Amino acid sequence: MGHGRAGRQARAPVNAGGAHAAARTSGGTVLVTGASGMLGRAVAQRLVDDGWTVRTLQRRASGVEGALDVRGSVTDPETVARAVDGVAALVHLAAKVDIVGPEAEYVAVNVDGTRTVLDAARTAGVTRTVLVSSPSVAHTGDSLVGAGAGPAEPGSARGPYARTKAAAERLALAADQPGFRVVAVRPHVVWGPGDTQLVGRVVERARAGRLPVLGTGAPLIDTTYVDNAVDALVAALVAPEASYGQAYVVTNGEPRPVGELIAAICAASGVPVPRRHVPAALARAAGAGLDAAWARLPLPGEPPLTRFVAEQLSTAHWFDQRRTREALGWEPRVSLDEGLARLAASASAVDR
């Protein structure tokens, strides 16, 4: 991913004397689950750089310099118990994030796996846990305009990922108590160089000519550049105890029209900017039909569209960040435009 040595050299503290200074002096061992993904790897590397002893848990090598990898799944209690042994703090990112798949698989990893991690962490004497959640846990298909971190709603969240992440967040926050503090952080649409979720899918579909603008492209959405998400998670790890027991949405705080944002990502990545428009209602209906087809038939890969993605690309979702910034002592340091410039530089380097 784009967070190698070159990416880390330009890093600055979140706030002078703030969260990063606290992290450097906190010491102890922190476990990061899901550190083979873009965000998990970047969080683990940041913690190593800030002086923590870092252990990671995921199914393949994390690639984090200076961390001790434990290989395995959060669904295996013995592996989880070994990973949390002697750990003081935990950042739990491991999750099934695919856009399609049997709901039982999402439940096994996102709900049961989270329960296994929380139980093992409590038994091992972990005192602080940061659960990485998602704003989709409170998105029921309607626009979110200047919203806060609404309650996680497993019964009405859209799609198996959102439903199971909502259930996992409820489990985690219910476990918060003195001596075992838990906070949920919901980074919204994290992206950056090396991202295989938003950027990877946009680039792949734009190259193939399969990336229309849904509706007018005008609804405002907010996203989070990966460095800002990392900063927020580290800040949460060392935040005052009064900030725990709650959920916080993290974004860049720069909502833009979704059509403009996707065009900017395409331009930065050197792929064609989408010009064709598809009515939002038609896209949602098509997404629902494709969901049903992929659920019934043994079809390969991902569907070209799902109802969840269609809703995400045709409704507004941006969030009031004042409560998050005050509670975590954090603010984003990489603007959307700077993030796009970094994405373009990364794409140019790959092309060379």
Is the domain spanning 5-188+224-251+318-333 CATH 3.40.50.720? The answer is yes
Residues ≥6 apart with Cβ < 8 Å to 175: 118, 122, 129, 182
How far apart, in whole angstroms, are the C-alpha atoms of residue 132 and residue 148? 16
What pLDDT digit, counting tens, does each position of 258-296 carry?
999 999 999 999 999 988 888 888 888 988 888 788 887
Strand runs (DSSP E) across 173-246, as ranges?
Answer: 181-187, 190-191, 213-214, 220-221, 224-225
- Note the helical H segments in 67-197: 77-84, 103-106, 113-124, 159-174
Name the pairing type of β-strands 256-257 and 220-221.
Answer: antiparallel
In the predicted model, is pLDDT for residue 18 greater than 80?
Answer: no
pLDDT digits (tens, 9 = 90+) for 153-182: 888 888 888 999 999 999 999 999 999 999
Question: What's the pLDDT at 5?
Answer: 32
Using CA atoms, how far apart are residues 16 and 24, in angstroms rounded to an integer?
Answer: 13
Q: Tell me what pLDDT residue 352 has.
A: 54
pLDDT for residue 310: 82
Is residue 161 among the annotated active site residues?
yes
Catalytic residue among 161, 225, 244, 248: 161
Average pLDDT over residues 147-155: 85
Q: Is the pLDDT at 41 greater than 70, yes or no? A: yes
**pTM for this entry:** 0.88
Contacts of 161 (CB under 8 A, 6+ apart): 95, 96, 97, 98, 99, 106, 110, 134, 136, 308
Arithmetic mean of pLDDT over the chain? 87
pLDDT at residue 179, as a whole number: 94
Residue type, 181: R
Task: Indicate if the pLDDT at residue 194 is higher than 90.
Answer: no
**In the chain, where the domains are located:** 5-188+224-251+318-333
